[in-house]
Structure 1
Amino acid sequence: MYFHINSNKMFFYFMLMFSSLISISSNSWFGCWIGLEINLLSFIPLISNSFNMMSSEASLKYFLTQSIASINFLFTIIMKMIFFKNFEYNNMISIMINSSLLMKMGAVPFHFWFPNVVEGLSWMNNFILMTWQKIAPMILLSYYLNYNYMYIIIILNAIIGAIGGFNQTSLRKLLAFSSINNLGWMIMSILISENLWMFYLILYSLLISMMCFIFNMFNMFYMNQLYNSNMNYSIKFFFLINFLSLGGLPPFIGFFPKWIIINFMLMNNLFIISFILIMMSLIMLFFYIRIIYSSFMFNYMKLKWMKIFIKNKFIYIINFISLISFSGLILSTFFFY
């Protein structure tokens, strides 16, 4: 099984990428709003499926929440034009614009739709939702930041993303709450530098793409499928390395951008936020290690006729990229010393 892209959907994939570029490169708020609307209208046909009730329900939820966020964004733009010379309203308008964009990317406390939508989507659409769909709102967020408000949002994302993963048996929901937790780190990185945010997003997208590809290849959606699968142990080992790297365990590449963010926070006396982010990352690592320990150590009864043979050569590229995860500590050492 692989990510199959229908030729009829290529137009919507093109519009999805093009609309994000419109929002990023626009020199007016209305142009940004138009780009976000085109992005919404191009993503709905990709996730809706008339043969799958969960997919149809997810597309409806996504459409409603994104429409509410777009209406709030447009209303705030008009408010900003009316009260442009009145500086008393600038703080309120910045919070409203930030809240609209946070709802679009599924950040806490506007995350109510995100896990439910993720649960109804395919792995390919989940990858797009967790990575590409965050680019335009994050860059627009950096144009009009309210720092005090953002610090509260960062703490809430870290806490809810970690606590929400408890007792989750669905791999899609687990990755959804992991995405919420990582969103707190992304917002912190964009407060520091856009280059650092881009570096964090590229690494996160690389790890998520490999995990979504393997889950899609083996048709896995729940943890017990991962435990019972008869995949090769070497492939399982390299695949589960990505879990540890996503959690930010020090020897792996996922720790590298988090180390830079932690150093910046400590230099700027943001001790409370750094402590909360680190502690919540430890809770996320607990989820990942629980999955790894169970899949390797538990002695499940496995049927011989369920043996999985991998004929796709792309899996070896994934194994090679997983080996690069070990270079995180070396890169971090050279970077700081």
Structure 2
Amino acid sequence: MFNNSSKILFMSIMMMGTMITVTANSWLGAWMGLEINLLSFIPLLSDSNNLMSTEASLKYFLTQALASTVLLFSVILMMLKNIITEVNFSYILMMILSSLLLKTGAAPFHFWFPNMMEGLSWMNALLLMTWQKIAPLMLISYINMQAMLNLSTILSVIVGALGGISQTSLRKLMAFSSINHLGWMLASLNINEFIWMIYFLMYSFLSAVLIFMFNLFKIYHFNQMFMMFFYSKNLKFILFLNFLSLGGLPPFMGFMPKWLVIQQMILNSQLFTLMIMILMSLITLFFYLRICYSAFMLNYSENNWMYEKNIKIYYLIIFYLMSFISLFGLLFVTMIYFML
């Protein structure tokens, strides 16, 4: 529908909208940045050759428009709080927080996120899982409502863990995984923004590794993953080691941000929420291991003459490096954390 130069322009405007929101010194300015981000992201989603992407862009617009309306209404109420004395200020903050949670796709406002992910290309799905969460999460960090954030944290980790068990679509699996990780991000926002930044960067990095691989082989469902095994055993292990890292299994890099959150939550005596989060992480590891088990246990034949021809070598080098970082990143970043 759009050529490459148009997509680059829309992506630049989308990033500019996020920057406006992050650097805004008023709620109205933050709302304007969110709207710029929304209106520039929708053209990237729409594709005239794919009805599912058109449906997904419509769902995204309606959901985000609802959240923006609630946010703008709450901001107006906040500006008029001296005139309308009957409105409790905590209710206004609750409405603002609810609209921002709806924008991120956190539970219990997650209903739109998995179905929308199903209709997107892998690159758009990566943008939705990572970049599009930056601005709402930064605004959530400005709101001091720990009880509601704890509730959303618990619901997000539960929905993300239980919703991913029965999925056969990789895009829906990544969507529920994103909801689960979003619960951990909300918990880290309650503790320390620096830990949230570490968690978000590590999550974005590991998600990008997996999604680049899925996009390279055009894989969208579990039964298509066995096509990769005919290329190389090395590819198979690179992919599934990153799956385990995304699930937070030590000693991979994905465990490091979770370990930081666990440590700080213990120091803050948030043991009940932490217990639920850890139990739900075990369930997410279960459905990751369910995918990996057959690949680790069984041998597959390889077509060596197709290896060099169909797969770009520099992609493989990048994936090797990312897996290497996943193995040793935990020790390196832990050492830096204690030095600081």
TM-score class normalised by the smaller sequence? over 0.9
Q: Using the alignment, how far apart are the partners of 1:254 and 1:303 within structure 2?
A: 30
- Distance change >3 Å, CA 241–CA 74, structure 1 → 2: same
Give the superposition deviation at 1:227. Answer: 2.3
Among the aligned pairs, what percent are the same residue?
Answer: 51
Aligned to 2:8: 10
Is there any run of 5+ residues in structure 1 with no aligned partner, and where?
none
* 1:249 aligned counterpart, secondary structure: coil
Aligned to 2:20: 22
Aligned to 1:34: 32
Deviations 1:260-309 (A, max 9, x none): 11111111111111111111111000111111112343567x79699553
Q: Retained in 1: the 8 A contact 2:248–2:258?
A: yes
- Distance change >3 Å, CA 318–CA 61, structure 1 → 2: same
Q: Using the alignment, how far apart are the partners of 1:57 and 1:81 within structure 2?
A: 36
Q: Retained in 2: the 8 A contact 1:73–1:100?
A: yes
- Distance change >3 Å, CA 84–CA 314, structure 1 → 2: farther
- Distance change >3 Å, CA 84–CA 116, structure 1 → 2: farther
- Distance change >3 Å, CA 24–CA 73, structure 1 → 2: same
Is there any run of 5+ residues in structure 2 with no aligned partner, and where?
none
* 1:313 aligned counterpart, secondary structure: helix
Q: Retained in 2: the 8 A contact 1:256–1:331?
A: no
Higher relative contact order (CA 8 A, sep 6+): 1
- TM-score computed with the length of structure 1 as normaliser: 0.93
Q: Retained in 1: the 8 A contact 2:52–2:119?
A: yes
Aligned to 1:255: 255
* 1:60 aligned counterpart, secondary structure: helix
Give the superposition deviation at 1:118. Answer: 0.5
Aligned to 1:74: 72
Q: What does 1:58-73 align with in structure 2 at a 5 Å threshold? A: 58-73=56-71
Deviations 1:48-96 (A, max 9, x none): 0011000000000000000000000001111111225859712111111
Aligned to 1:283: 283
Runs of 4+ in 1 over 6 A off after TM superposition: none
* 2:88 aligned counterpart, secondary structure: helix
- TM-score computed with the length of structure 2 as normaliser: 0.93
Q: Which amino acid aligns with 2:141?
A: S
Deviations 1:7-53 (A, max 9, x none): 12111000010000001111111111111011110000000001100
Q: Using the alignment, how far apart are the partners of 1:306 and 1:157 within structure 2?
A: 46
Q: Retained in 2: the 8 A contact 1:24–1:136?
A: yes
Q: Using the alignment, how far apart are the partners of 2:305 and 2:95 within structure 1?
A: 53
Aligned to 1:316: 317
Aligned to 2:127: 128
